[in-house]
């Protein structure tokens, strides 16, 4: 990478930014899930690794969360934007050099931020834990350059219209910049009390709602038609999805503060909008599943389709949960329990990560023009991922229901801890399986880049992967 950072733009091979974003995202997925496994072990076996402040759960959890969100998920988004935006516009990426500088600064800034978090330098705001100097690197060193590259590539497209994936990419980069800027206002202007609390959860919720889940959906709109050869079932429904997110996703953050002294009208408004989120969710899932018409055998036979459709199917329970747990009665029962942890992982590790994994498999093979090194290892990765995730999600959902019952019936806290202990062990087993699968994936993609069979012109790498 270093030799291209100071080269002229026309001297940099097309796809370079995609490749470095792709491998960086897999690396941070291994780091993030490894830290998650470590943290889960501390909850399952409290006497494991004690006596050192830096390995305390409070330190390690923040590093795990940011490594997954800013490292794995967001870098996978960066890879898809570097690859899909020009492909959909029938043009080149506006600036490979800017893309390489973006991935370079992203890795440097994230590494520095995580080290500082590990050492205890934190803003103390959940999901927004980085201190403000690192936040400025994220905004002006990463997100703004990423946005410029995406917007200028769309502006220089050779196609007449803008496909729905690029609508999402262009809009979501803009929205996440606004979310980051507003989210830092509590720290920059020393806001306190209820205002700080509301801004903290407004940031946390909208990073999910205006960045992670819509960009993951945008990936599905590209990957599924490409893999199946079917056209997208309905562009109108896709645009309904896009505009419904714009309309309904800005204020539901209040559902995180149902017991706080916020205005009653704001809490009611958040509950209603939270349920209305089902509109874009149903539109998205129906559109993608109908696009699969006549090609469902690929769900069994094709690795990228298997990951992508699993992610789309996980959007069904995700959005059903998300909509109805914002109603006051359900929110009162599950708030502050492991149920919410299960729901957050359903969004980040389930729906979103399966779609991004499909995109990284597909994008790296296509740009490298190399056949997947081992289909058996890819299948092993899938089954470790899906089984491990399900063990995690189900165990934490049950633990959350136990905690909610303990809260309502005023069961002594130690009795609740004893009752949920088996589910903490299951959580560690599930998380460790996901981590193990990701190590296998990193090895498989590294070997694909080094020794994968070269794909001839006119063929797609994901097609050749299944030829013997």
- Tell me the DSSP string of 264-312: HHHHHHHHHHHHHTHHHHHHHHHHHHHHTTT-TTHHHH-HHHHHHHHHH
3-state secondary structure of 94: coil
> What does the alpha-carbon distance between residue 316 and residue 282 come to, in Å, rounded to a whole number?
8
Per the listing, tokens 């299951």 go with 426
> What does the alpha-carbon distance between residue 78 and residue 211 come to, in Å, rounded to a whole number?
12
Q: Which residues pair with 370 in a beta bridge?
A: 454
Q: What is the pLDDT of residue 193?
A: 86
For the record, the structure tokens of 156 come out as 């220089």
Per the listing, tokens 């006051």 go with 328
Cα→Cα distances 185→134, 203, 263, 266, Å: 14, 10, 21, 21
Per the listing, tokens 């205005």 go with 263
> What does the alpha-carbon distance between residue 438 and residue 440 come to, in Å, rounded to a whole number?
5
Query: What's the DSSP call for residue 454?
Result: B
Quick one: angle between helices 278-291 and 213-228, nearest 10? 10
What is the chain's pLDDT, residue by residue, as a tens digit (468 residues)? 777 888 787 888 889 999 999 999 999 999 999 999 999 999 999 888 888 888 888 889 999 999 999 999 999 999 999 999 999 999 999 999 999 999 999 999 999 999 999 998 998 888 888 888 888 888 998 999 999 999 999 999 999 999 999 999 999 999 999 998 888 888 888 888 888 888 888 888 888 889 999 999 999 999 999 999 999 999 999 999 999 988 887 665 777 777 778 888 888 888 888 788 889 999 999 999 999 999 999 999 899 999 999 999 999 999 888 877 877 788 888 888 999 999 999 999 999 999 999 999 999 999 998 989 999 999 999 999 999 999 999 999 999 999 999 998 999 999 999 999 999 999 999 999 999 999 999 999 999 999 888 877 766 665 655 554
Cα torsion angle, 115, 118, 121, 126, sign: positive
Assess contact for 431 and 392: CB atoms under 8 A: yes
Backbone phi, psi, residue 454, to 5°: -70, 135
| C-alpha of 35 from chain center | 16
As a whole number, the mean pLDDT across the chain is 90
Cα torsion angle, 452, 456, 461, 467, sign: negative
Assess contact for 281 and 189: CB atoms under 8 A: no
pLDDT in tens, 375-395: 999 999 999 999 999 999 999
């Amino acid at each position: 990478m270093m030799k291209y950072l100071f080269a002229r733009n026309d001297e940099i091979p097309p796809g370079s930014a995609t490749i470095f974003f792709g491998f960086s995202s897999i690396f941070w997925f291994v780091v993030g899930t490894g830290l998650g496994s470590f943290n889960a072990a501390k909850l399952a076996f409290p006497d494991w690794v004690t006596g050192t402040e830096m390995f305390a759960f409070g330190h390690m959890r923040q590093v795990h969360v940011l490594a997954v969100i800013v490292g794995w998920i967001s870098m996978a988004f960066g890879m898809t934007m570097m690859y899909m935006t020009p492909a959909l516009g029938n043009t080149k990426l506006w600036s490979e050099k800017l893309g390489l500088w973006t991935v370079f600064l992203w890795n440097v800034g994230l590494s520095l931020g995580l080290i500082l978090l590990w050492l205890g330098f934190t803003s103390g705001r959940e999901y927004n834990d980085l201190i403000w100097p690192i936040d400025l690197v994220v905004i002006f060193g990463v997100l703004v350059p990423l946005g410029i590259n995406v917007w200028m590539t769309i502006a220089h497209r050779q196609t007449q219209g803008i496909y729905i994936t690029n609508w999402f990419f262009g809009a979501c980069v803009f929205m996440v910049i606004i979310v980051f800027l507003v989210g830092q206002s509590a720290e920059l202007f020393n806001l306190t009390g209820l205002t700080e609390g509301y801004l903290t959860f407004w940031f946390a919720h909208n990073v999910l709602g205006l960045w992670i889940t819509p960009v993951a959906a945008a990936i599905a709109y590209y990957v599924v038609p490409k893999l199946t050869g079917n056209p997208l079932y309905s562009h109108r429904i896709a645009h309904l999805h896009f505009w419904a997110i714009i309309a309904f996703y800005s204020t539901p953050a209040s559902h995180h503060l149902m017991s706080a002294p916020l205005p009653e009208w704001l809490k009611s408004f958040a509950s209603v909008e939270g349920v209305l989120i089902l509109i874009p969710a149903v539109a998205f899932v129906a559109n993608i599943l109908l696009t699969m018409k006549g090609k469902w055998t690929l769900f069994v036979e094709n690795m990228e389709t298997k990951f992508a459709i699993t992610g789309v199917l996980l959007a069904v329970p995700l959005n059903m949960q998300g909509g109805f747990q914002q109603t006051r009665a359900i929110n009162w029962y599950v708030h502050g329990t492991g149920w919410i942890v299960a729901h957050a992982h359903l969004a980040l590790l389930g729906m979103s990560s399966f779609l991004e994994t499909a995109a990284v498999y597909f994008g790296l093979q296509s740009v490298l023009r190399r056949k997947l090194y081992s289909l058996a290892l890819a299948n092993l990765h899938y089954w470790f991922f899906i089984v491990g995730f399900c063990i995690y999600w189900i165990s934490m959902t049950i633990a959350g229901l136990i905690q909610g019952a303990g809260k309502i019936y005023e069961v002594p806290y130690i009795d609740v801890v004893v009752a949920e202990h088996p589910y903490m062990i299951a959580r560690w087993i599930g998380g460790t399986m996901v981590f193990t699968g990701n190590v296998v994936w990193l090895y498989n993609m590294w070997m694909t880049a080094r020794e994968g069979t070269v794909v001839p012109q006119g063929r797609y790498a994901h097609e050749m992967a299944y030829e013997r």
